[in-house]
């Protein structure tokens, strides 16, 4: 019986990635995980600095990655990027190519929960300002679409990554469990994540013949700065306990839980994966 050696599913050695929303939360965790797996990372965000309410060290993500470089060679740069503006997203992709020569991985992670700033966290639809819809859709919907658009255009222009499969690129969109099931008080946010889910499937079908993988990650409630307004409203301990109880696993998600999936989806282990929604939710959607 013939045998074969399985690829190292966690290796991203030599690949060039853009991670949007990289200055804090999931974007920062994914950037760190990618660098640890061998990738060079373009950190894209409105600012290199994390929000004041974010936990952890204040050093910008790209500076942290470069400080951790084993050979002292810069492995990361920061690019100011507004994901709601086409010219800004296009320029970010161009900067990645200028610095590193190509683009292999695009992580469309930047997102907001505008409902959290609507006066009361998780407002009912009749109490939700129209501005919340516009803000959520601009970043979570249009921003992901623009990220896909310009990353894929570059992936089609360059030579394939290599190997017998001729893979040209990996696009990973950050979705949510509320892109799969409902959650009261998130009518606008849920709509954007439903859009990301279906967009991912449509783009995956368009790009399959080009060997560009397009998948999305659907996290459960994860302990990031996005939950800060809920903690402020209910108190940290009560909010964390309430959210943990929603998940059969008995805890909220940790940023590294999501980062590990992002590494998998950009590696050889996901070689036959495209158009998928990868749930990382401690059993939430199994209920």
Q: Is residue 106 part of a domain?
A: yes
CA angle 48, 150, 95 (to 5 degrees): 45
Q: Please give the tally of structural domains in the chain.
A: 1
Report the SS3 class of residue 79: strand
pLDDT at 118: 65
pLDDT at 1: 34
Nearest C-alpha neighbor of 136 from the set 80, 175, 82, 190? 190
Q: Is residue 246 part of a domain?
A: no
Instruction: For 155-193, write each residue's pLDDT tens digit.
Output: 999 999 977 779 999 999 999 999 999 999 999 999 999
Q: Is residue 53 part of a domain?
A: yes
Q: Is residue 73 part of a domain?
A: yes
Across residues 207-225, what is the average pLDDT?
95
Domain residues for the domain of 41 are 16-224+254-280
Q: Is residue 1 part of a domain?
A: no
Are the C-beta atoms of residues 20 and 107 closer than 8 Å to each other?
yes
Q: Is residue 242 part of a domain?
A: no
CA angle 120, 125, 129 (to 5 degrees): 65
Answer yes or no: 189 catalytic: yes
Return all residues near 50 (Cβ < 8 A) that are at least 6 apart. 23, 24, 28, 56, 58, 60, 225
Where residue 53 sits, what CATH number does that domain have?
Answer: 3.40.50.720
Residue that is written with structure tokens 């909220």 in the block: 252
| Catalytic residue selected from 34, 150, 189, 284 | 189
pLDDT higher at 93 or 123: 93
Environment class of 67 (CB within 10 Å of its CB; exposed 0-12, middle 13-18, buried 19+): exposed
For residue 102, is pLDDT > 70?
yes
Q: Is residue 237 part of a domain?
A: no
Largest CA distance in the chain: 65
Q: Is residue 244 part of a domain?
A: no
């Amino acid at each position: 019986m013939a045998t074969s050696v399985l690829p190292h599913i966690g290796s991203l050695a030599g690949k060039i990635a853009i991670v949007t929303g990289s200055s804090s939360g999931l974007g920062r965790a994914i950037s760190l995980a990618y660098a640890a797996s061998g990738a060079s990372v373009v950190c894209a965000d409105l600012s290199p600095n994390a929000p004041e309410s974010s936990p952890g060290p204040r050093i910008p993500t790209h500076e942290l990655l470069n400080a951790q470089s084993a050979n002292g060679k810069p492995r990361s740069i920061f690019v100011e990027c507004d994901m709601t503006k086409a010219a800004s997203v296009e320029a970010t992709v161009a900067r990645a190519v200028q610095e590193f020569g190509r683009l292999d991985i695009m992580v469309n992670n930047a997102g907001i929960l505008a409902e959290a700033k609507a006066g009361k966290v998780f407002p009912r639809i009749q109490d939700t300002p129209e501005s919340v819809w516009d803000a959520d859709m601009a970043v979570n919907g249009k921003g992901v679409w623009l990220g896909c658009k310009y990353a894929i255009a570059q992936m089609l222009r360059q030579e394939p990554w290599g190997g017998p499969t001729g893979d040209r690129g990996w696009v990973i969109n950050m979705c949510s469990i509320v892109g799969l099931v409902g959650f009261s008080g998130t009518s606008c946010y849920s709509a954007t994540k439903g859009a990301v889910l279906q967009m991912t499937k449509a783009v995956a079908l368009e790009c399959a013949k080009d060997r560009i993988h397009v998948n999305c990650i659907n996290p459960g409630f994860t302990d990031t700065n996005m939950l800060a307004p809920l903690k402020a409203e209910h108190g940290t301990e009560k909010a964390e306990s309430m959210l943990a109880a929603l998940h059969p696993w008995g805890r909220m998600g940790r940023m590294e839980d999501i980062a590990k999936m992002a590494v998998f989806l950009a590696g050889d282990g996901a070689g036959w994966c495209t158009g998928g929604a990868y749930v990382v939710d401690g059993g939430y959607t199994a209920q």
